[in-house]
Amino acid sequence: MALNFPTKKRTIQQKIVNKANLGMDLEAMINESNEYYLGNDIAVIHKKPTPIQIVKVDYPMRSKAVITEAYYKTPSTTDYNGIYKGKYIDFEAKENHNKTSFPLANIHPHQMEHLKNIIKHGGIGFLIVAWNTYNEYYLLPFEVAYEYWEGANDGERKSIPYQTFKEKAFPIKEGYIPRLNYLKTVDEVFFK
Amino acid sequence: MALNFPTKKRTIQQKIVNKANLGMDLEAMINESNEYYLGNDIAVIHKKPTPIQIVKVDYPMRSKAVITEAYYKTPSTTDYNGIYKGKYIDFEAKENHNKTSFPLANIHPHQMEHLKNIIKHGGIGFLIVAWNTYNEYYLLPFEVAYEYWEGANDGERKSIPYQTFKEKAFPIKEGYIPRLNYLKTVDEVFFK
């Protein structure tokens, strides 16, 4: 049952070198970090596939099925989940291109509902928000997001101010290996 | 020696009746049960979307994006995961149309590797196998599946006999609400 971890590690390093200064997007950074976590037996966390509504599939002779008509569906859960230190972990990752606030329209109602359920059942749930303008990454506790979310539904502001991230969210440092060591922040917040 | 036509007829009729009443494949039964579990605050378990490799997307004016070329990808994890009684739970569901054995070719190597990782990290991992011929459903412990899996890789038989399910797997009863109460079996196996 030897897993080929060394190869995997080399692949990851190679990728990092290639993308060193190219500005990787948040999803790629998290996926790469998840590969590192998996390869080093730290956690098993995967991104869920994008939900697609398949309408038409062709079966050309001698080749594999080709989907020729399909549509993106609204996700009913978050993008990432898995297991860490024996605990169920679940989060949504969002990039924010604004400078002063994070618009709540970025989050689907289903995703908030899902995270609320996860926490009710004893899991770890949160959001990761990238502030692209500042090259900053935050673990945003669900409770903070939910407070603003409910406020917005009650006619209050429809975004979370940058200042709130400074005060109530937890910074995730960008690094080398893994690229975005968000589990270190999870440790600080959930396993103190 | 009596020819067994009546029995055969009965079997066929039985099948038709069953299908008329159920008219549901394993995935639909599990999804419906998961909705019940979610709605009744018992567990949060979702099916992951089918992984698709998107090659071409069109953006017709005034309408939403249309995927016009895409392919099915091999899944890198199992189909279902979530949280139950505060524990991470993860499983793969397979239908078996054979009468005497369950072919291991039904399971992707990635899925076995994934379940192994999940258990190593303290999660609950297993398979649900439907024997369509008999209308029987089983929770197959990962350890049992893995033993046969390793055997097959060592040149031994490439399937799990029906008898092994009778001896080492745990029956899941088909019901009304929820349709397939597999968490009852999970209770018996993992929470005794």
The whole-model pTM stands at 0.86
Query: What is the CA angle B129-B98-B29, rounded to 5?
Result: 35
Q: What is the CA radius of gyration of chain B?
A: 19
Confidence (pLDDT) at B192: 85
ipTM: 0.86
Query: What is the CA angle A27-A32-A36, rounded to 5?
Result: 145
Size of interface A-B (CB pairs under 8 A): 110
The alpha-carbon gap from A162 to the nearest alpha carbon of chain B, in Å, equals 32
Q: What CATH number does the domain located at B22-49+75-190 have?
A: 3.40.1350.10
Query: What is the CA angle A22-A24-A30, rounded to 5?
Result: 155
Judged by a CB distance cut-off of 8 A, whether residue B81 touches chain A is yes
The verdict on domain A5-190 having CATH code 3.40.1500.10 is no
H/E segment holding residue B151: helix B142-153
With beta carbons less than 8 A apart as the criterion, state whether A87 and A76 touch.
no
Band (pLDDT 50/70/90 cuts) for residue B64 is confident
CA pair distance B133, B98, nearest whole angstrom: 7
Confidence (pLDDT) at B104: 96
φ, ψ of residue B57 to 5 degrees: the values are: -130, 130
φ, ψ of residue A55 to 5 degrees: the values are: -110, -40
With beta carbons less than 8 A apart as the criterion, state whether B182 and B172 touch.
yes
The alpha-carbon gap from A81 to the nearest alpha carbon of chain B, in Å, equals 8
Residues in chain A with CB shorter than 8 Å from the CB of B70 are: 52, 66-67, 70
Residues in chain A with CB shorter than 8 Å from the CB of B54 are: 50, 52
Those residues whose C-beta lies under 8 Å from the C-beta of residue B22, and which sit 6 or more positions away, are B29, B174
What tens digit of pLDDT does each residue of A41-93 get?
Answer: 999 999 999 999 999 999 988 788 999 999 999 988 999 999 999 999 999 99
How long, in residues, is chain A?
192
Assess whether pLDDT exceeds 60 at residue A33: yes
Residue with token string 């929470």: B191
Which residue type is seen at B6? P
Give buried/exposed letters for B16-34 (b at 16+ CB in 10 A, else e). eeeeeeeeeebeebbbebb
The alpha-carbon gap from A66 to the nearest alpha carbon of chain B, in Å, equals 5
β-strand A80-84 against A87-96: which pairing, if any? antiparallel
